């Protein structure tokens, strides 16, 4: 069975690395195929085609291609800059009612045709729909790793930009302990990563070197031949071959020649993951806002039967770009351990995640420890998080409300640290709720407390703080003085002076309770 494929879905699947939609009509035709057309001749263009302006060089020719393609019922015209953004071309697309898509300047047309047809097959085939949670291309990526390994005649890993292993070839038994640990842990171990970083490997990768050779190391780590995987100027990952020694120019060139093919697979894989992530994020957003039933989340978000918590994460300090980067990094951490899809979404600049309340990987304990140990980034941003109480999926909206309330405690500085759990802060929550209600009722304006506050504002006497500490530690002036960081005799002197200023019967328990309520309202609301 085949589904209707829209231009928007194709652009979303391929992703912003290669394609950027400049105009998308609401009711455009379904996409059928990809064709390469010459300007001025509509021959070969059929309804639903994606028309690639490969040989188009002038704005007038591009505008004419747009009009002719629209007359044949084509779904979209794809052009490279600067033609795609020329006013005459954009006006022609808008008038004709056809989609206009800009292709990244560095993209190979041949590679784009291959990728678009692969994407059309994946989108049109219901067996690869996101609901089944598959990862198209993952098997192909392992087969591709084997093919690349035969080209370079060495065992190969294909890794993403975070040094996570996406696929690996056979013959890994012929490598070294560092490679075995990389395969077992599905990422380069931290100590090995540090050694490669100290040799400038990742700096060279970012600079766009075609191949990088790393000699053998004293700890027994064998030489590596490394090739960056790029597309459209973006670094998508790298290929690492464990070699016996220096590699001939021919073999190194053949190894590098495989990178564009691997890049297409990585883009397809990422696009599929991004599509799933957007669908999961929208469903979770609807559940947390009460627009969708929590039961729907069980099947579509692959949530397990354990109790789950809603965790809200906020990045404080730093600039906006840094906050976004930290949120994305945390999203990646969440997505590695929870279900088959990342169960997280953004609402109002905050990241909300649903994590199982389990001690193992992917659970609340791991996420809590990761956030608590996160140091300030280069631009100063740090995350803080609050978790709602654990419960089944029907309680997700309630857990979200609890997480928001617990985050309020962190924002107000009422509790220490950067991570808090709602069910572990009941005393702070009781005081905060009580104080908020008392403050709304303006209880602090009653009685003689106002005179003490006015005196403190004028003389900086500290009488209000002294009275609060005395009430918190009844009959224990030493503990009260320690809280204020003053000598016990100073505490007694202040109490004597404030009672002379404002007559209070502190032997009356109701007076003490009323004063405590007023002071809590001032401090906790």
Q: Which residues fall within 8 angstroms of residue 446, CB to CB, at 6 or more apart? A: 518
Are residues 68 and 92 in contact, defined by beta-carbon separation less than 8 angstroms? no
Burial class (CB in 10 A: 0-12, 13-18, 19+), 359: exposed
DSSP letter string, 13-78:
HH-TTTEEEEE--TTPPPP-EEEE--TT--TT--TTEEEE-TT--SHHHHHHHHHHHHHTT-SEEE
DSSP 83: G
Q: What is the pLDDT of residue 159?
A: 92
- Per-residue pLDDT of the chain in tens (525 residues, 90 and over written 9): 345 788 988 887 776 667 889 999 988 889 988 888 765 565 678 899 999 998 888 999 999 999 999 999 999 999 999 999 999 999 999 999 999 999 988 777 876 777 787 677 766 653 344 334 444 445 578 888 888 888 888 999 999 888 888 888 888 777 888 888 887 677 788 888 888 988 888 888 888 778 999 999 888 899 999 999 987 677 888 999 999 999 888 888 888 888 888 888 887 777 666 666 677 778 888 888 878 776 676 667 767 778 889 999 888 765 544 555 566 666 655 555 444 445 778 887 788 888 888 776 667 887 788 777 766 544 456 788 999 999 887 888 899 999 999 998 888 788 888 899 999 988 888 888 888 888 888 888 888 888 888 888 888 888 899 998 998 898 898 999 998 899 999 999 999 998 989 888 888 999 888 888 888 888 776
Q: Which helix (H) or strand (E) holds 386?
A: strand 382-387
Nearest residue to 470 (alpha-carbon basis) of 512, 514, 505, 521 = 512
Q: Which helix (H) or strand (E) holds 95?
A: helix 87-96
Burial class (CB in 10 A: 0-12, 13-18, 19+), 250: exposed
DSSP letter string, 148-216:
HHHHHTS-EEEEETTSBEEEE-S-GGGS-HHHHHHHHHTB--HHHHHHHHHTTHHHHHHHT-S-EEE--
Q: Is the pTM of this model over 0.75?
A: no
Q: What is the pLDDT of residue 241?
A: 94
Q: What is the pLDDT of residue 321?
A: 47
Tokens of 242: 């464990």
Q: What is the pLDDT of residue 361?
A: 64
Q: What is the pLDDT of residue 376?
A: 54
Q: What is the pLDDT of residue 89?
A: 95
CA distance 108 to 55: 13
DSSP 302: T
Q: What is the pLDDT of residue 54?
A: 87
Phi and psi of 221, rounded to 5°?
A: -70, 125
Are residues 311 and 390 in contact, defined by beta-carbon separation less than 8 angstroms? no
Q: What is the pLDDT of residue 324?
A: 58
Burial class (CB in 10 A: 0-12, 13-18, 19+), 137: buried
Domains of the chain: 7-127 (3.40.1390), 138-267 (3.30.450.40), 293-424 (3.30.70.270), 443-524 (no CATH)
DSSP 424: G
In angstroms, the Cα distances linking 379 to 120, 312, 314, 370, 385 are 41, 22, 16, 19, 19
CA distance 245 to 153: 12
């Amino acid at each position: 069975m085949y589904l209707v494929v829209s231009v928007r879905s194709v652009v979303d699947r391929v992703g912003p690395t290669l394609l950027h939609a400049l105009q998308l009509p609401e009711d455009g035709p379904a996409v059928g195929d990809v064709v390469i057309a010459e300007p001025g001749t509509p021959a070969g263009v059929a309804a639903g085609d994606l028309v690639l302006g490969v040989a188009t060089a002038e704005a007038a020719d591009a505008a004419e291609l747009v009009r002719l393609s629209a007359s044949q019922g084509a779904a979209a015209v794809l052009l490279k800059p600067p033609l795609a953004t020329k006013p005459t071309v954009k006006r022609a697309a808008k008038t004709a009612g056809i989609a206009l898509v800009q292709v990244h300047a560095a993209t190979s047309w041949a590679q784009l045709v291959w990728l678009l047809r692969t994407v059309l097959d994946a989108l049109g085939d219901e067996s690869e729909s996101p609901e089944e949670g598959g990862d198209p291309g993952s098997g192909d990526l392992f087969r591709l790793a084997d093919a690349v390994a035969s080209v370079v005649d060495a065992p190969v890993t294909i890794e993403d930009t975070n040094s996570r292993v996406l696929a690996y070839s056979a013959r890994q038994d012929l490598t070294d302990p560092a490679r075995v640990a990389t395969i077992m842990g599905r990422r380069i171990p931290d100590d090995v990563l540090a050694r490669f970083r100290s040799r400038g490997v990742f700096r060279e990768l970012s600079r766009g070197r075609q191949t990088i050779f790393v000699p053998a190391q004293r700890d027994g780590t064998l030489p590596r031949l490394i090739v960056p995987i790029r597309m459209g100027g973006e670094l998508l990952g790298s290929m690492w071959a464990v070699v016996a020694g220096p590699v001939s120019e021919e073999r190194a060139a053949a190894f590098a020649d495989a990178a564009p093919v691997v890049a297409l697979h990585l883009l397809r894989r990422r696009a599929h993951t991004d599509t799933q992530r957007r669908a999961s994020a929208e469903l979770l957003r609807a559940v947390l806002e009460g627009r969708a039933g929590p039961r729907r989340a069980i099947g579509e978000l692959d949530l397990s039967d354990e109790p789950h918590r809603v965790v809200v994460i906020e990045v404080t300090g730093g600039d906006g770009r840094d906050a976004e980067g930290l949120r994305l990094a945390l999203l990646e951490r969440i997505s590695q351990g929870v279900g088959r899809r990342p169960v997280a979404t953004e609402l109002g600049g905050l990241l909300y995640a649903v994590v199982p309340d389990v001690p193992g990987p992917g659970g609340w304990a791991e996420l809590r420890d990761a956030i608590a140990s996160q140091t300030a980034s280069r631009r100063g941003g740090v995350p803080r998080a609050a978790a709602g109480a654990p419960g089944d999926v029907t309680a997700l909206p309630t857990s979200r409300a609890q997480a928001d309330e617990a985050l309020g405690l962190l924002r107000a500085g009422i509790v220490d640290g950067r991570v808090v759990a709602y069910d572990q802060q009941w005393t702070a929550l009781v005081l905060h709720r009580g104080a908020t209600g008392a403050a709304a009722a303006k209880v602090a304006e009653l009685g003689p407390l106002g005179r003490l506050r006015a005196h403190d504002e004028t003389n900086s006497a500290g009488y209000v703080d002294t009275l609060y500490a005395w009430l918190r530690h009844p009959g224990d002036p030493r503990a009260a003085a320690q809280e204020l960081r003053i000598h016990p005799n100073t505490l007694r002197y202040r109490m004597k002076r404030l009672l002379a200023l404002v007559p209070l019967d502190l032997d009356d328990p109701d007076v003490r309770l009323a004063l405590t309520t007023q002071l809590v309202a001032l401090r906790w609301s």
